[in-house]
Amino acid sequence: MKKLLSIVSLLVASTAVFAQGARDLKLNEVYVYSPVCSDSSQNASYVDEYGQPASWIEIENTSYSTHNIRNCFLTINPAVLDESLSAPEREKLMSEIPAGDPRTSLSAKQRITFFADGNVNRGTLHLNFNLPVGEPFTVYLFDGNAVDLLDSIRVEALPAGSSYARIDGTEWEVVAEDKVTPNAPNQILKNKKIQEFKEKDPYGIAMTLMCMGVVFLCLILLFVFFHIFGWAMNRASMLARVRAIRAVHNQASKVVEMAKQGTTETKGIDMETYTAVIGLALHEYFGGTHDLESGVLTIQQAHTTWADKSHELRVLPPHHQAVELKK
């Protein structure tokens, strides 16, 4: 029972991790092939494995880990949004990305392009539907369970040869034919100032002068900073020396004053000792710590036996006394 619970928990955890990783798969660019511009450079530069130009949908792994897009679904059929549909019913309305192709394993920030030409028999990268020309549509990207919608984008009618791309990872814009980038990062087209600067300074002279000016300005600021810093440190050390000299001078003045007091006023006695003696004398004079005495001697002679000569004689033991009696 415990093993069964462990296996079920592991499966649930792995499913959650996989679902979380699938959320990092995002639609990145949509290109609609139009026969009107079939001779354009963009249509001729990017074709499928058979050399045929076609509409395509680009998907990007926006995370920094590897995720596999196999078994996910792509479609433009809005009927898949019907919540009453079951997963098998929704799968029939979409084009599944088959497993087994190593190209479906996307590393960090990698992109993959699927051709929307309706020819699924041509390989893994071909879908079972075509993108309409001159009409708005919505692209849906579903997870492998055919229930979770990972990403979607509404595409309006595009000019011939252009694409609809996600710029800076957030906003979508119509990209001109010469800026279409299949399987590559979408070019940033919003910064018009950079484009104007490139047009006005094609040789980079102004950019060079600006860079050199910034470098020299930084060097000047560093020179001023270190100059002020050095002056401040010298000033601080000078003040420290002045404080030390002033302390020595004050101590010397105290020593001179003490020596002066000990030689002139107290005749060689230290001032502190002199003051202590005077204080003690005053204390004894005004009461002190001694009891009051009469001032009369009270010594009287008393008899003691400590000088008795008999104390110097030895006491005869009882044996000797008995012998003397017999004699």
Q: At what angle do helices 205-260 and 192-200 cross, to 10 degrees?
A: 110
pLDDT of residue 34: 78
Q: Which two tokens stand for residue 229?
A: 């810093």
* pLDDT tens per residue, range 221-257: 999 999 999 999 999 988 888 888 888 778 777 766 6
pLDDT of residue 41: 47
* pLDDT tens per residue, range 132-145: 988 899 999 999 99
Q: How many CB atoms lie within 10 A of CB 117?
A: 22
Is the confidence at residue 214, as pLDDT, over 80? yes
Classify domain 14-190 at the CATH topology level: Immunoglobulin-like (2.60.40)
Lowest mean pLDDT among 102-106, 155-159, 189-193: 189-193
Query: Mean pLDDT across the chain, nearest whole number?
Result: 80
With CA atoms as reference, report the closest residue to 108 among 47, 25, 186, 44.
25
* pLDDT tens per residue, range 10-66: 655 454 444 456 788 999 999 998 776 544 444 445 788 888 888 999 999 998 889
Is the confidence at residue 316, as pLDDT, over 60? yes
* DSSP characters over 241-270: HHHHHHHHHHHHHHHHHHHHIIIIISTTS-
Is the confidence at residue 326, as pLDDT, over 60? no
With CA atoms as reference, report the closest residue to 66 among 17, 110, 124.
110
Q: Which two tokens stand for residue 45?
A: 């530069």
Residue 57 near residue 116 (C-beta atoms within 8 A): yes
Over residues 190-214, the mean pLDDT reads 79
Bridge partners for 208 per DSSP: none
Q: Which amino acid belongs to residue 129?
A: F
Q: What is the CA radius of gyration of the chain?
A: 54
Backbone angle region of 278, left / alpha / beta, with phi > 0 → left and psi within -120 to 50 → alpha? alpha
Bridge partners for 152 per DSSP: 140
Over residues 209-217, the mean pLDDT reads 92
- Tokens 């004079």, residue located: 285
- % the chain with pLDDT above 70: 73
- % the chain with pLDDT above 90: 33
- Domain parsing of the chain, residue ranges: 14-190, 205-284
Residue 155 near residue 136 (C-beta atoms within 8 A): yes
Q: pTM of the full predicted structure? A: 0.54
pLDDT of residue 261: 59
Is the confidence at residue 164, as pLDDT, over 80? yes
Q: Which amino acid belongs to residue 96?
A: E
How far is Cα 31 from Cα 182, in angstroms, rounded to an integer?
9
Q: What confidence category does residue 169 fall into, taking pLDDT thresholds of 50, 70 and 90?
A: confident
Q: Which residue would you say has higher pLDDT here, 326 or 172?
A: 172
Is the confidence at residue 320, as pLDDT, over 80? no
